[in-house]
Structure 1
Amino acid sequence: MGEVAVNGREPIMADDLLDDEVMVNGSASDSKENVEGLVNGAVELTERIKRRAKRPSKFVTSKELSRANSDSQVIAPLRALKNSRKSRSGFGRGLPKKGGAGGKGTWGALGSELAEEEVDGAIDPNDPNYDEANPEHRDFKLKVINLDRSDEELQKQISSLVAEYFDHGDTQEAYLSLDEAGLGRGPRAHLVLVAAVELAMEHKPSHREMTSVLLADLYGHLLFETHYAKGYDVLVKNLSELVLDTPEAPTILGNFIARSIADDCIPPKFLQSYKGKVDCEHAVVTLARSDSLLSMRHGLVRLDNVWGVGGGTRPVKYLVKKMALLLEEFLSSADIAEATRCLLELEVPHFHHELVRILSLFSF
């Protein structure tokens, strides 16, 4: 191997440079990096090369950094960092993006939108659920609500709730709706009965039956005896106006009063209190109708069917029997109008095929 003279010192062998320290400018070299190359068997030495230290990436975890430091001084780029789901903005808290449910075509973990904090402007001010953080910086208007509503407004709201009851038929739901609206409290609770009966007069007998059931179920919870007595008293006095829209109003109201007495909502002496005190002919018809229904034999039991026997809630065998009696009466009297009226009173249009079946059996 060739010899090399370093700053006038005695020559050293190139082999020794690879294993021992080399004196450069009077100081020992720190590593083998001072040896740059071989020229004709000799080593050319230059000044020490200053390399920039490789800093670990801030995206490298502590485990990866410790593993890299234990293996070598050079940190190789990890391919997993490219696919890391952690935030790269530098302003995060170190948590995974989208709660760890990020990726192509995803919106985040299920239910993560419920945990998001609301920021200013994130909600439309026109949204009914908009909550203004600083209302003093915005213009707003106060609307005065008059809690002392008139009787007409109360009856209109009650009628809408009773109409909903006609759709679902759940007396418990109707009671909760009336109670939440505050319509069964105070001195005007009798308007619940007035509005319900007036609405039932304009509907079918099946709806009148539902109204009677509702009034019976509300007793002791929302309405009491005084409310029933006052409500029926208001209806008796308004019969002259009710007959304009419903000509059968006196008879219908008489049925309602008799049914309430049978359901123990009002005592039988309620009718006795009107004797000799009524001048309206419509009121006389109403009281006479109620008295006749209560005076007949087993009247209280028969009042369960005061609104007829129709409706889809009746048993199938019961409806078949009624249709058979209807056809037998028609064959004996040949009165088509009466048979049609009886068929419509059953209120079972989905069961008219049974009429055809029974009629075909009679023809054989």
Structure 2
Amino acid sequence: MSSLATQGEMNGHKVKSHPAPESRVGDEGTSKRNITRKGGAKGKNGGGGGGQKGRWDPTEDGSEAQARDGIADKGDPNYDSEADEHDNNYVLVSDSTVIAPNAVAGPLHTLPEFKRRLKTIIEEYFLSEDISEVLRSVKELKSPAYHYEIVKRGINMSIDAKDHERELVSKLLSDAYPDILSSREVCKGFERLFEMIDDIQLDAPNARTLVASFLARAVADEIIPPSVLRNAAFLSLGGEIVKGARRLLSRDHVLSRLEHVWGPGDGRPVEELKVAIDQLLVEYLLSRQQDEAAACVKELDCSLFHHEIVKRAVKTALDKTDDDRTAMSSLLAYLNKNEVISDEQSKKGFDRLYEANLAGPRPRHARRPELAHQVHAAGHL
């Protein structure tokens, strides 16, 4: 009786004895033991049992699946369909888009970098007056989270400039809505201005008045709703600026007034500019010098008000002779051909003529389309 059996009997239990595994001796006398360990399904590298029957084997996706005795190929004569029917092993897959390791989430640039680039874009815009180029450049920055900076920086930079630049900024904000700027982003831009208005006013004493005009113009251009001016949080930040915008919006003929809130572009009153345009046109009909008239138009420095020149040129010529009307149509064609007056401003001027009911006798209205046809024949439209 072995010592193990004896110990079992001493404790009042019978213990079945197990013989120790026999040792094998290799060809060269090396001792090798066949030892079966608990959990011995793991192979020598800690993985699956190398495809042994009834043991776990890693699949191609790294998971473990129990190997079967059967053949997996249905075309094989030894294929076991019953074993295949009870195959409960699954590989989970996902149809979600895999994000590339180098993909960028959020703004492409940091806020300081975006501000620096935006400043350059606006400076170039003040020179070129090309809104489409500004919008394209902003899109290329791929940082929509910072688009409110267009409002803040554009207005802030124009405060140190002239009314011409302020009109450019108002037009930029209007054209950027809603693709580049949402109403929420416009409001956020104004809120940032409210927060820094005290510092701005140190260098520009009229800063609050100017920002109020920008705010009223934004409402008139329908890029922010009028209800914003009654919002308690917005009013608490803007204070007198918001109240000033509300006063501007309460005046008679508000839309017409706010359309020219910055004047014709060079700071002078609109009525004063109209007088200067009329004088220019009368002098041209006397001299018939197109180059001199073009130089005078440039000196007016009101490129965003050139539609008024077209409109008043037609109105002036209506009461003149056929020769004067021909001369006026030639002048408009000359100004357009030499890019003194843009196609957009020319079209806007004629559109205003057709939309408005000009005062005067009926024959005067009849000559209006006639002059338009003459300008078209001269290559102006």
TM-score range, shorter chain: 0.3 to 0.5
Higher fraction of helix = 2
Bigger Rg, structure 1 or 2: 1
TM-score, scaled relative to structure 1: 0.44
